[in-house]
Chain A
Amino acid sequence: MSDFPCELSGNVLVVTLVGRLDTNTSPQLEKLLAEKLEADPVKGLVIDFEPTEYISSAGLRVLLMAAKKMKSGGGKLILCAMSEHVQEVFDIAGFTPVFNIEADRALAISAGRA
């Protein structure tokens, strides 16, 4: 039900979240990010929510860790293309002001390069 295709755009890694980010799928995303960032410490990490059905606290936890990891390495995490539902969850969690969020993928990639 979930898939996380990755694409490298210059020094920015773009990971798309297809389907659900919940208790069962979040550990897969966590592992994927750890492997990718270990192999190639990119300057920017973009997470594209365009095809994301929903994100539970298990997914929010992985994003929080990714943000801390990118920040400690001098890079940044940028989230983009959130649906209203995902945006609502971020608002309630109080995550909206602490993350870099862009309207779409192109804007997020340019922000990741900057």
Chain B
Amino acid sequence: MFAYTLKPELDKMVGLVNRFHDFCRAGNVPETVERHIKLALDELVSNAIFYGKPDPDSLIRVSARVTGQTLSLEIIDSGAPFDPFSRQDPDTTLSIAERDIGGLGIHLVKKLMDHTSYQRVDNQNVVRLSINLTKDTDSNYE
């Protein structure tokens, strides 16, 4: 079980990622899965801070657990209601000149994770992710 709380500040995410690394090493989480989740944490926590604008004194709670072959992750913040997965996927076929980066992070999360969900519970944003620990890194996206 992994549990970590952080203030809603971008530079506090460094400690989160470092501690998550320790958790993965202790539990023999495959390196590819660890990298996928670190990327997802970076996208989702920065989004929560940026769009939800939680109270500076509030805490963002991140927890993770391994059940069988599945790693599940939960991110809870008390910012304004914000569903990160409601945004339309970006057009990833445009040329460099036309390309806009908006929405790309969440697109990556949806493709890299096996399951994503969002709920508003008790005035909090609850984001849940899960990924199969034995996933073939090539089979999860087209």
Q: Is B28 an interface residue (CB 8 A)?
A: no
Shortest C-beta distance, A102 to chain B (Å), equals: 17
Is B32 in contact with A56, judged by CB distance below 8 angstroms?
Answer: no
Q: Is A36 an interface residue (CB 8 A)?
A: no
Assembled-state Cα–Cα distance A61/B43 (Å): 13
Assembled-state Cα–Cα distance A53/B10 (Å): 19
Is B17 in contact with A20, judged by CB distance below 8 angstroms?
Answer: yes
Q: Please tell me which stretch of B52-60, B76-84, B106-114, B120-128 contacts chain A, meaning at least 4 of its Cβ atoms lie within 8 angstroms of it.
A: B106-114
Is B42 in contact with A88, judged by CB distance below 8 angstroms?
Answer: no
- For chain A residues 26-77, which have a beta carbon within 8 Å of chain B? 53-58, 60-61, 64, 67-68, 71
CB-CB < 8 A to A56: which residues of B?
39, 42-43, 105, 108
Q: How many residues of B contact A (CB 8 A)?
A: 31
- For chain B residues 67-124, which have a beta carbon within 8 Å of chain A? 92-97, 99, 101, 104-105, 107-108, 111-112
Which of A's residues lie within 8 Å of B, judged by CB?
1, 20, 22-24, 53-58, 60-61, 64, 67-68, 71, 84-85, 88-89, 91-95, 98-99
Which of B's residues lie within 8 Å of A, judged by CB?
10-11, 13-14, 17-18, 32, 35-36, 38-39, 42-43, 46, 92-97, 99, 101, 104-105, 107-108, 111-112, 137-138, 141
